[in-house]
Amino acid sequence: MGIEGENHSQVSDDMFSILKSPSAGIGPRLGRLSIPGRHTIETPHYLGITSRGAIPHISQDTFARDAHIQGVYVPLEDFIERAPERVPPLYLYKAPDGASPLRRYIALPDQSLLVLGARRCPPVAAPAANSNTDQTVSVSTNVGFKLLHAQDYREAVEKLDADILVALGDIQYGRTLGSKRITKAVDRNIDWLQDHIAARNAQPSKSTRAKLFASLLPVSCDNQKYWVEYLADDAVKHISGLALYDSCTLADMPQQLRHLPVLGFTLPETPHEVLRQVGLGMDVTTIPFITYATDAGIALDFTFPSPESNDSNEVSPRALGVDMWPEVHATDLSPFKEGCQCYACTNHHRAFIQHLLAAKEMLGWVLIQIHNHHTMDLFFAAIRESIRNETFDRDVKEFARVYESQLPAKTGKGPRVRGYQFKSEGPGEPKKNTAPFQVRDKSSGEGNPLMNDANAQQLENQGFAEKTG
Amino acid sequence: MAPRPSPALTFDLAAKCPTTKARAATMHLPHGSVQLPMFMPVATQASLKGLTPKQLEETGCKLCLNNTYHLGLKPGQKTLDAVGGAHKLQSWPYNILTDSGGFQMVSLLKLAQVTEEGVRFLSPHDGSPMLLTPEHSISLQNSIGSDIMMQLDDVIATTSPDLARIKEAMYRSIRWLDRCIAAHQKPESQNLFCIIQGGLDLELRKECCKEMVARDTPGIAIGGLSGGEAKTEFCKVVDTCTSLFPTHKPRYVMGVGYPEDILVCVALGADMFDCVWPTRTARFGNAITDTGEHNLRHAKFADDFGPVDENCKCMICRLPSEGGLGITRAYIYHTAAKETVGAHLLSIHNVHYLLDMMRQVREAIIEGKYPGFLKAYYWRRYAGDKEKYPSWAVEALRGVGVDLMIDD
């Protein structure tokens, strides 16, 4: 399998440098992702996950000022509702200063790393069992599932000037792949990547160019041997990294690909799982549980490898987060976490957050979201420190000993659920969002309950609308 | 009689419009000074619909509203006392004004019943009967610690045909004002404003003004308006009342928020306004601009890459080269009603729009150019088509010496 125009496209990869790698076999590693003009990202690290161009709840000005998220992942499917019948507005947009149209469109600060891929993270699984074809991938848009052509994808994303592009892959979500399906997916991936690289090489003059990451299938490398061999032998010169959809792919990654940064879309559900994947060599990952926790009203509360406090009365194992719904927080003027330097903890207290959740005020989720991302910033900084000190394995064990294995259960109601967050079950499914209140109707009452026997003094004594339950 | 100086409020008149009744002033309150005339955004439940206090501050806001009724339900008085009031609850270092809770009895609760003792209503939590008295309202507002608190008034719709009931409500509001004043525990740090009632009946309004002005509260509100009455009637009430108010006290017209209404009310001598409209309409995808309200959820904005408002200098509309976000109408279309961030962005713009309009109004008054400002504003709003000018506004402004139909 050859690649046209090879001479144009040697990827000069000074973008990613490995600072520390395991002495033998598989293990955690330290790296540095540097793209001119962006934050230099020390790895392992994570990317914030956007929805329609923003980290849920965090408006762009707050993102720039009060969050310290270094880079974000943006899915193209959020922007292409009526393509190809109608050209998506994003494709028509030209930034006034010639900057990346996508970056300006979503008002992402210049320093933030911008990674663009096809599907949301996590993606809504396509309704059909075989939703992808030799030319198309099923994507979930605002107006339902649509087919995204591989050619349309590569042409569009090349124009949007992201920093990192995740090449289109035939990734089946939520299904185990049989060997035939894997063979088919490998063929498609090779075709699509070949075409993408050829298209890039046909336009060698482009001054700034996104770094291309190839998508591996969510199976072990051994199970997608031809694809891995193709990448190692032919494509490696033209790609700058790998996107992974299952951590099992990391375990038998061949040496020829190990110099590439690995970007995970592996949907870890706990910090323990994040640690496990870092232990396999994951460099940059995406973590849906940050926003899950936020929507559940849970402020993440963990420190790697264990909390700094030496309080011997601590219960063990400790919870990974604090559910902010219970009334015990109602008069608590302490921050989510003592000493936390995030915007929420330095400006607000638990009593306010509890009030905001109970009152269903959107600011509650804004503040928790800021804190939860900050918690992950510190978590990854501590992971890197631990790898640097060669205490990672021991620290992971300590973390597992100290903390519960799962995030706290959700007790309160989250914000309104949106269509792109769940798979529709078809007609007749119950409403996902309940009405917040109902108007009492005079006609339905029996008599007038206002003028019942309770006298004014009694009512006065019981206070004004104190909650009873 | 010169008004008694109030310990928690100083009113410095800066300028009076030589033509209209408009005034520019500075009002010094316990949590800082504010410039009048002003618009106050409504942070109903101690938060301005998704905005952080920092974002609110960035719009230029130095005084926002909280609703006593809502804070009384959640987090409740006990919590407010334990936390140390609403400033501490929401980490808002500037001023807060609270209403009495009476308006929500009318707007939210079908089953509210007013008696001399107070307002009986059913708990929205469990349907049990409850009572809000003037004493309780003040006690709650003392717990909230608002810089400006409002008396409990007997609010009835201005459109009510029942003159006897309107008259009863007006006199009851005076009696309740006396109970509120008597119940007020912290006059040294919190200002209690009276609320003029009397429906659309100018004689009742005058009587109410006379009685309430005599009570010498630090500020005066005109209540019971913006409930769907004819704008002409509304303007007459405002005009009548402000003529009976002392010069050196702030005048607050409750629940008014449309730019054109505010501009006319300023010309009629009012200083303070509040409304949930800028933030509520933002959640529906509506942007407030000099040319009126635009619903950015309309498909025609999908490919519109201009700023939300060409002339606006808010964080949303300024370009990145000017330190802003450079948000386009297309991006608002993209997010409105799909991600809450879209509503947050538009709320910032809309609140900034009204606060900035008030800054311009104040500047124009100080420079003695308010009539010209009014003419220019209406001209822009209706793209020069005078046929479209609302007749109530033209009429009301004629009454204070400005004829929108005649160019300078």
Task: Count other C-beta atoms under 10 Å from residue B331's C-beta.
Answer: 31
Q: What are phi and psi of B226, to 5 degrees?
A: 45, 45
pLDDT digits (tens, 9 = 90+) for A56-107: 999 999 999 999 999 999 999 999 988 888 899 999 999 989 899 999 999 9
**Element holding A248 (H helix, E strand):** helix A248-251
Whether A363 sits inside 8 A of B50 (CB atoms) is yes
Q: Is the pLDDT of residue A280 over 60?
A: yes
CATH number of the domain that residue A221 is part of: 3.20.20.105
Does residue A342 have a known ligand-binding role? Answer: yes
Cβ atoms within 10 Å, residue A128:
9
Boundary (domain end) residue, out of A351, A378, A402: A402
* CA–CA separation, A423 and A369 (whole Å): 24
At residue B408, the pLDDT reads 78
Residue A27, SS3 per DSSP: coil
Q: Is the backbone peptide bond immediately before A44 cis, with ω within 30 degrees of 0?
A: yes
Element (H, E) at B110: none
A442 contacts on B by Cβ (under 8 Å): 110-111
Residue A466 has pLDDT above 50, yes or no: no
Q: Is the Cβ pair A469, B140 closer than 8 Å?
A: no
Q: At A290, list the tokens.
A: 């940050």
B355 and B222, same domain (yes or no): no
Put simply, whether A447 touches B (Cβ < 8 Å) is no
Query: Please, are residues B149 and B138 in contact by the beta-carbon 8 Å criterion?
Result: yes
B235 within domain boundaries: yes
Instruction: Name which of A49, A58, A59, A452 to mutate to probe chain B: the one with the most chain B Cβ atoms within 10 A of its Cβ.
Output: A59
Tokens of B269: 């001598």
- A14 in the same domain as A104: yes
What residues form DSSP beta bridges with A165? Answer: A116, A212
Is the confidence at residue B263, as pLDDT, over 60? yes
Reported ipTM: the value is 0.95
Residues A331-359: what's their mean pLDDT? 96
Q: How many CB pairs under 8 A join A and B?
A: 217
Determine the Cα–Cα distance for residues B162 and B70; give it in Å rounded to an integer.
29
Q: What is the DSSP string of A100-164?
A: -HHHHHTT--TTSEEEEESS-SSPPPPSSSS---SSEEEEEETTEEEEEEHHHHHHHHHHHT-SE
Residues of B in contact with A91 (CB under 8 A): none
With an 8 Å Cβ cutoff, are B340 and A92 in contact? no
Please say if the pLDDT value at position A430 is more than 60.
yes
Q: Give the pLDDT band (50/70/90) at residue A443.
A: very low
User: Counting every residue, how long is chain B?
Assistant: 408
- Residue A418 placed within a domain: no
**A47 part of a folded domain:** yes
- The answer, yes or no, to whether residue B190 has pLDDT greater than 80, is yes
Tell me which of B51, B52, B144, B316 to substitute to probe the interface with A (most A C-beta atoms closer than 10 Å).
Answer: B52
- Whether A366 sits inside 8 A of B345 (CB atoms) is no
Is B303 among the annotated ligand-binding positions? no
Q: How many CB atoms lie within 10 A of CB A423?
A: 12
pLDDT (tens digit, 9 = 90+) per residue, A238-258? 999 999 999 999 999 999 999
Task: Give the closest residue to B246 by CA, choosing from B275, B273, B271.
Answer: B271
Two structure tokens written together for A233: 């032998």
Task: Give A296-321 as a 3 state SS string.
Answer: CCEEECCCCCCCCCCCCCCCCCECCE
B34 domain residue, yes or no: yes
A92/B contact by beta carbon, under 8 A: yes
Please write down the long-range contacts of B166-173, taking CB distance under 8 Å and 24 or more positions apart. B166/B197, B166/B198, B166/B199, B166/B201, B166/B204, B167/B198, B167/B201, B167/B204, B169/B114, B169/B197, B169/B199, B170/B197, B170/B198, B170/B199, B170/B204, B170/B207, B170/B208, B172/B114, B172/B116, B173/B197, B173/B208, B173/B223
Q: State the pLDDT confidence band at A320, using cuts at 50, 70 and 90.
A: very high
The domain boundary, picked from A287, A311, A346, lies at A287
User: Which residue in chain A has the smallest CA separation from B330?
Assistant: A89
CB neighbour list of residue A422: distance below 8 Å, 6 or more residues apart: A124, A432
Q: Which residues contact A229 (CB under 8 A, 6 or more apart)?
A: none
Query: Which structural domain, as residue segments, surrounds residue A463?
Result: 438-469
The CB-based long-range contact list for A185-189 (8 Å cut-off, 24+ gap) reads A185/A217, A185/A224, A185/A227, A186/A217, A186/A224, A186/A226, A186/A227, A187/A134, A188/A132, A188/A134, A189/A214, A189/A215, A189/A217, A189/A227
Q: How far is A368 from chain B (nearest CA, A)?
A: 12
Q: Is residue A322 located within the same domain as residue A260?
A: no
In the predicted structure, residue A128 carries a pLDDT above the cut 90: no
Region B45-52: mean pLDDT is 95
Asked whether residue A111 falls in the same domain as residue A247, the answer is: yes
Please check whether residues B318 and B240 belong to one and the same domain: no
DSSP string computed for B296-356:
TTSGGGTT--SBSSTT--STTTS-GGGTS---BHHHHHHHTTTSHHHHHHHHHHHHHHHHH
A54–B321: do the CB atoms touch at under 8 Å? no
Is residue B208 marked as binding?
A: no
Question: Cβ contact (<8 Å) for A451 and B120?
Answer: yes
Both A451 and A377 in one domain: the answer is no
For residue A106, give both structure tokens. 């979503």
Q: Which is more confidently placed, A17 or A428?
A: A17
Same domain? For B155 and B265 the reply is yes
Could you confirm whether B385 is annotated as catalytic? no
Which residue among B78, B326, B345 places its CB closest to the CB of A59? B345
Task: Report residue B41 as tokens.
Answer: 């955004």
The answer, for A133 touching chain B at a CB cutoff of 8 Å, is: no
* In a domain? residue B293: yes
| Share above pLDDT 90 across residues of chain B, in percent, rounded to a whole number | 86
**Per the structure block, which two tokens stand in for B87?**
């400033």
pLDDT exceeds 50 at position A465: no
What is the CATH number for B154? 3.20.20.105
Inter-chain CB proximity B125 and A367 less than 8 Å: no
Q: Which of B99, B154, B261, B309 is catalytic?
A: B99
Torsion of CA A171, A174, A179, A182, to 10 degrees: 0
| A382 plus A469 within the same structural domain | no
Which DSSP category does B406 fall into?
A: S
**Spatial distance between the Cα atoms of B237 and B255, rounded to a whole number of angstroms:** 14
Give Cα B290 distance to the centre of its chain.
20
> In this structure, are A368 and A465 located in the same domain?
no
pLDDT in tens, B375-390: 999 999 999 999 999 9
* Amino acid at site A201: N
Please indicate whether, in this complex, the C-beta atoms of A456 and B72 are within 8 angstroms of each other: no
User: Is B99 among the catalytic positions?
Assistant: yes
Interface touch A465/B117, C-beta < 8 Å:
no
Q: Do B338 and A142 touch (CB under 8 A)?
A: yes
Gap between the Cα atoms of A167 and A239, Å rounded:
9
Band (B91; pLDDT cuts 50, 70, 90):
very high
Q: Nearest C-alpha of chain A: how many angstroms from B92?
A: 9
Same domain, A258 and A120: yes
B171: pLDDT strictly greater than 80? yes
Check if the beta carbon of residue B246 is closer than 8 Å to that of residue B12: no
What is the DSSP track for A336-390? SSTT--SHHHHH--HHHHHHHHHTT-HHHHHHHHHHHHHHHHHHHHHHHHHHHTT
Q: Are A369 and A267 within one domain?
A: no
User: Does pTM top 0.90 for this prediction?
Assistant: yes
> Using 50, 70 and 90 to split pLDDT, how confident is the model at A25?
confident
On chain B, the residues whose CB falls within 8 A of the CB of A291 are none
Predicted local confidence at residue A32, as pLDDT: 98
Identify whether residues A183 and A208 lie together within a single domain. yes
Q: Confirm or deny that B228 is annotated as ligand binding.
A: no
Q: Which residue matches tokens 């005084």? A: B63
Residues B310 and B229 in one domain: no
The domain in which residue B351 lies consists of 282-368
Domain boundary among the residues B214, B243, B275 is at: B275
Q: Using the beta-carbon criterion (under 8 Å), do A52 and B83 form an inter-chain contact? A: no
Contact between chains at B348 and A61 (C-beta distance less than 8 A): yes
Cα–Cα dist B70/A162, whole Å: 45
Q: Is there a single domain that holds both residue A152 and residue A237?
A: yes
Q: How confident is the model at residue B14 (pLDDT cuts 50, 70, 90)?
A: very high
Nearest chain A Cα to B86, which residue?
A352
- Angle, CA A395 vertex, CA A390 and CA A398 arms, to 5°: 160
Q: Is residue B300 located within the same domain as residue B240?
A: no
B382 within some domain:
no
The verdict on B259 and B311 lying in the same domain is no
- What is the b/e burial string over A260-280, where b = at least 16 CB atoms within 10 angstroms of the residue's CB? bbbbbbbbbebbbbbbbbbbb
By Cβ distance, the residue of A439, A451, A468 closest to B126 is A468
In the stretch 362-391 of chain A, residues with CB closer than 8 A to chain B read 362-367
Query: Are A282 and A307 found together in one domain?
Result: no
For residue B292, the distance in angstroms to the closest alpha carbon of chain A comes to 25
User: B178, B274, B403, B407: which is the annotated catalytic residue?
Assistant: B274
Pairing outcome for strands B119-122 and B129-132: antiparallel
Q: Are residues B268 and B155 in the same domain?
A: yes
Measured between alpha carbons, how far is B56 from A373 in angstroms, rounded to an integer?
Answer: 22
A421 touches chain B (CB under 8 A): no
Q: CA-CA distance, A365 to A343, in Å (whole number)?
A: 13
| Domains contained in chain B, number | 2
Rg of chain A's alpha carbons, rounded to an integer? 25
Closest partner CB to A450 (pick from B75, B111, B339): B111
Q: Say if CB B201 and CB B163 are below 8 A apart.
A: yes
Sequence-ordered alpha helix ranges (H) in B48-192: 53-58, 68-73, 77-83, 86-90, 102-107, 134-144, 163-183
Instruction: Say if B391 falls within a structural domain.
Output: no
pLDDT-derived band at A467 (thresholds 50, 70, 90) equals very low
Annotated binding residue at B61? no
8 Å CB contact of A330 and B330: no
Q: Is A333 on the interface with B (CB under 8 A)?
A: yes
Residue of A100, A295, A355 to mutate when probing chain B, most B C-beta within 10 A: A355
A282 and A303 part of one domain: no
pLDDT in tens, B110-163: 668 889 999 988 877 777 788 899 999 999 999 999 999 999 999 887 777 889
Q: Give contacts of B78 with chain A, Cβ < 8 Å.
A: 331, 466
Residues within 8 A of B (CB atoms), A 252-291 only: none
- B323 and B183 part of one domain: no
What is the number of domains present in chain A?
3
Choose the final residue of a domain: B223, B255, B275.
Answer: B275
Of A356, A366, A465, Cβ closest to residue B123: A465
pLDDT of residue A82: 82
* Residues from chain A contacting residue B133 (CB–CB below 8 Å): 456, 460
Residue A428 placed within a domain: no
